[in-house]
């Protein structure tokens, strides 16, 4: 209303999340999201895939803003929190319908264990439905880092994430990634050789187990918080720009 410049950021695919719960067409959800972000000088998004997707849906002000990871907290040399039968297939994140977690939990595994770290509305039902899965609940800080270190391959069944910060945490902990070839994993993993993206999640996990942990760690080190911060600062529109001055002059004249 005051014509001040500002930026916004797009972290969540709300139209897809709403459709997963209610019969709301995507076109309606995206019309609302587009209306919300339209006045922004720049809509910051984490990956090129999401950028292209939003532009195809009528957004005209999308800019890049990558992510970083705490490589001191998440490390391969941490003492594991759990000693489960190996290989351990681990998921970390929210336990909710939009995360498509049952694609992982129902996945056939001939040997090893499944570990789920996190909390959410689906946790009670899934814990009952899959008694052979180890549900560790929500974990934080060093405790969370030690749960990553308990795994051998990181499972990412979501098809709707805009990035997936847990991917970077897992890679920093030396875990190769098994995921679907969708935005988020396609951008973070890409052709890095640190994961396997396959429509068959079980096949992706089996192949990912052969990836060296050192390769995953080295790749995670390229996602620095400094680069993330510099990218963010480059997109800011400070108050006091020529547009602000013009608006102030109009307001004074009135």
The CATH number linked to 182 is 3.40.50.2000
* 3-state DSSP percent of the chain in helix, strand and coil, to 5: 40, 15, 50
The answer to whether residues 51 and 121 belong to one domain is no
The answer to whether residues 130 and 155 belong to one domain is yes
The answer to whether residues 61 and 110 belong to one domain is no
The answer to whether residues 120 and 160 belong to one domain is yes
Q: In what order do the strands lie in the sheet with 195-197?
A: 134-137, 113-117, 88-92, 153-156, 177-179, 195-197
The answer to whether residues 97 and 23 belong to one domain is no
Provide the number of structural domains found in the chain: 2
- Per-residue burial over 79-89, b = 16 or more CB atoms within 10 Å of its CB, e = otherwise: eebbebeebbb
The answer to whether residues 110 and 219 belong to one domain is yes
pLDDT by residue, tens only, the chain of 254 residues: 788 889 999 988 888 888 888 888 999 999 999 999 999 999 999 888 888 899 999 999 999 898 899 999 999 999 999 999 999 999 999 999 999 999 999 999 989 999 999 999 999 999 999 999 999 999 999 999 999 999 999 999 999 888 889 999 999 999 999 999 998 899 899 999 999 999 999 999 999 999 999 999 999 998 888 888 998 999 988 776 555 555 445 544 55
Flag whether 3 is in a domain.
no
Which string of DSSP letters, residue by residue, matches 60-116?
--EEE------TTTS-TTSPPS--PSSSEEEEES--SGGGTTHHHHTS--SSSEEEE
* Helix/strand/coil for 15: helix
The answer to whether residues 129 and 205 belong to one domain is yes
Write down the pTM of the prediction: 0.78
The answer to whether residues 140 and 183 belong to one domain is yes
Sign of the Cα pseudo-torsion (157, 163, 164, 169, in order): positive
**Domain limits for position 125:** 88-223
Flag whether 76 is in a domain.
no
């Amino acid at each position: 209303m005051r014509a001040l410049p500002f930026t916004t950021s797009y972290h969540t695919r709300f139209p897809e999340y709403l459709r997963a719960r209610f019969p709301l067409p995507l076109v309606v959800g995206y019309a609302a999201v587009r209306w919300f972000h339209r006045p922004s000088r720049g809509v910051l998004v984490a990956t090129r895939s999401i950028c292209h997707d939003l532009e195809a849906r009528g957004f005209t002000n999308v800019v890049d803003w990558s992510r970083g990871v705490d490589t001191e907290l998440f490390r391969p040399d941490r003492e594991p929190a759990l000693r489960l039968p190996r290989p351990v297939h681990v998921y970390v994140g929210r336990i909710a319908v939009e995360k498509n977690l049952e694609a992982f939990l129902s996945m056939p595994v001939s040997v090893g264990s499944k570990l789920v770290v996190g909390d959410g509305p689906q946790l009670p039902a899934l814990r009952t439905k899959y008694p052979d899965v180890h549900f560790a609940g929500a974990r934080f800080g060093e405790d969370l880092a030690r749960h990553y270190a308990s795994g051998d391959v990181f499972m990412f069944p979501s098809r709707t994430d805009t990035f997936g910060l847990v991917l970077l945490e897992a890679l920093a902990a030396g875990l190769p990634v098994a995921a679907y070839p969708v935005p988020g994993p396609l951008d973070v993993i890409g052709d890095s050789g640190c994961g396997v993206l396959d429509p068959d999640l079980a096949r992706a996990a089996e192949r990912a187990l052969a990836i060296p942990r050192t390769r995953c760690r080295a790749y995670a080190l390229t996602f620095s918080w400094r680069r993330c911060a510099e990218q963010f600062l480059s997109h800011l529109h400070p108050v006091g720009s020529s547009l602000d001055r013009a608006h102030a002059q109009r307001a004074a004249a009135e």
